[in-house]
Structure 1
Amino acid sequence: MIRPFTEFVAIDWSGQAVARPKGLAVARTTTGDAAPELVVPEGGWSRGAILDWLIGLADTGTRALIGLDLSPAFPFIDEGAYFPGWEASPPDAKSLWALVEAISSDDPHLGVGSFVAHPQAKRHFRQRFDCGDLFPAGRGRFRKVEHGQADMALSPYSCFNLVGASQVGKSSLTGMRVFHRLAGRIPFWPFDPVPDAGPLLVEIYTALPARLAGLRKGVSKIRDGETLDRALAAFGSAPHRPLARYDDHATDALLTAAWLRRAAEQEALWRPAGLDAHVARTEGWTFGVV
């Protein structure tokens, strides 16, 4: 039995190569039915500022379930490696995080330009005007959990695809730099066991709460207060405090924080059928995919 969490945080992430990406948003709520609220620092969020904020949660021992909207690892199960043919291809997710950090350590703003330009790594990515020779035909490679996402009528993208508004590869890579720096401070399920105290990180897919709240595929983005309140109510949340501006990033974070509060209590979500020790060590899992 998992010791209950007292706070629930959803972070909409961004891989944009600037100091303060517009796509970063953080929402936070507590037990009960109070609506989640945005956490907005003066000057806005940077990836480094979110890293520092997470370290603060660890230092205070806050019992928070923290969801990040990105993929914490690349496909591994399908080919038996993240980067087949590259002798430096890591054996597990934590080694992958270390490799991304090592190659990108000089990139500003926790960016990953050096990694995606690396002569061996770039062979596996589809980038604008430069598709690697090892990027397979079609939509690219997928993790086991991403096949599970598709089975739930969601629309996953390959982490090796770095092209288009919906690509998640750059977000995932920048997140890996954060996870490497958080090592030992905040465990990340399922790479780490769920702790009895303190915060825990999980991967989220914000389209899943939207779908569970009744928003149809293709119209799952919320851009007004009335729709947001209707969706929040599906998870037993009180109406939100009106926002100065409604955008996908803020509303995704708010709705997902409310969903996390309810989802954390569902024991089946912590024991998905497709998750075994090998998957947990190499690819990870999206919380909520069963």
Structure 2
Amino acid sequence: MGDFTHFVGIDWSGARKVGRNAIAVAVAEAHTRQVKLMDPPNGSWSRQRVLDWMVHGDWLPKGARALIGFDGAFSFPFLDHGRYLTELPMADTPHALWKEVERVCQDDADLFGGGFVDRYASNFFQGDIGRVNADYRRFRKTEILCKQQKFGAETVFHLVGASQVGKASLSLMRVLNMLADHEDIAIWPFDALDGARIAIVEIFCTVFVQTDGHKGKVRDHRTLSRLVESYGARLADGMGPVDKNDNAADALISAAGMMQAAGDPGYWNPPGLSPKVARTEGWVFGIR
């Protein structure tokens, strides 16, 4: 798995309307060990612009191979109940789940996934008065491991607070549904990576950011540079400060961390990634 030439970290957003700096895209190049932010088109990224850039852009040189990490869940918990949702008995693979998310949300602009929450509201906790938070605490195996390793992890069904990931994940599932039919794109761990020009993995930026003793968000340039260098990389020449833009910092550090992790077989074959987990729930790259 060590033949990737480019590593992309994407800090993703599930907001109905994506604001400026809400999405960040960073690229690390293996031959230079430099990591840089990609300039967004028209001044800011949207989810659709990220998808278009990734699939149709000229950012990846001919003959190169990219590993792209999205910060968002690729699937729902499955193994705990033997299903994703009671209302979806026939959906027993991530691909089937992605298709249902797209079917429900197809009229929502910019790949927004909130319509799925409206359709299956009983499965999501949104701070409803009189409803018990614990009822919605379903986690995937990889998320349980994240919590055990003190990285923290939120379930996709909990939609309250700054750490929520549900709507970002649902919007990301719309993207994955669109990428699934591309012959040169593989989505790990559901697809074989051999021969794929682009491999897509799920990441949890916190896993890469909480390195070298660091805790919390990165909001100053000195800390950002130190954490990137802890992965054997460096910020690209001429890149200005990204102070107070923790989304950009997360993307940059994640790209550097992915570049280091990709060469370690242990991250591709963690003990908890059984065939059944790989078929149904997926895995956070960088956790083992």
TM-score, normalised on structure 1? 0.90
Runs of 4+ in 1 over 6 A off after TM superposition: none
* Structure 1 residue aligned with 2:259: 261
Structure 1, residues 143-174: CA drift from partner, whole Å, max 9, x if none?
01011111211110011011111100000000
Letter in 1 for 2:164: Q
Q: Larger deviation: 51-60 or 93-102?
A: 51-60
Q: Larger deviation: 252-261 or 49-58?
A: 49-58
Are 1:214 and 1:231, in contact at CA under 8 Å, matched by a contact in 2?
A: no
Are 1:82 and 1:89, in contact at CA under 8 Å, matched by a contact in 2?
A: no
* Structure 2 residue aligned with 1:114: 115
Alignment partners' CA distance in 2, 1:9 and 1:130: 40
Are 1:3 and 1:196, in contact at CA under 8 Å, matched by a contact in 2?
A: no
Matches within 5 A, 1:129-208: 129=128, 137=134, 140-185=137-182, 186-208=185-207
Alignment partners' CA distance in 2, 1:32 and 1:139: 45
Are 2:123 and 2:136, in contact at CA under 8 Å, matched by a contact in 1?
A: no
Structure 1, residues 9-66: CA drift from partner, whole Å, max 9, x if none?
0000000001546421000011145331111223210000001111126896640000
Alignment partners' CA distance in 1, 2:221 and 2:68: 24
* Structure 2 residue aligned with 1:227: 223
Alignment gaps of 5+ in structure 2: none
* Structure 1 residue aligned with 2:77: 75
Structure 1 residue 138 displacement after superposition: 5.8
* Structure 2 residue aligned with 1:44: 44
Three-state SS of the structure 2 residue aligned to 1:27 is strand
Question: How many residue pairs align between the two structures?
Answer: 281
* Structure 1 residue aligned with 2:212: 213
Are 1:140 and 1:160, in contact at CA under 8 Å, matched by a contact in 2?
A: yes
Alignment partners' CA distance in 2, 1:89 and 1:20: 36
TM-score, normalised on structure 2? 0.91
Alignment gaps of 5+ in structure 1: none
Structure 1 residue 129 displacement after superposition: 3.3
Are 2:221 and 2:242, in contact at CA under 8 Å, matched by a contact in 1?
A: no
User: What's the C-alpha RMSD, in Å, of the aligned pairs?
Assistant: 2.1
The percentage of counterpart residues that share the same residue type is 38
Alignment partners' CA distance in 2, 1:223 and 1:199: 30
Alignment partners' CA distance in 2, 1:244 and 1:25: 11
Alignment partners' CA distance in 2, 1:89 and 1:124: 17
Letter in 1 for 2:134: A
Are 1:25 and 1:250, in contact at CA under 8 Å, matched by a contact in 2?
A: yes
Cα distance change of structure 1 residues 246 and 198 upon mapping to structure 2, 3 Å threshold: same
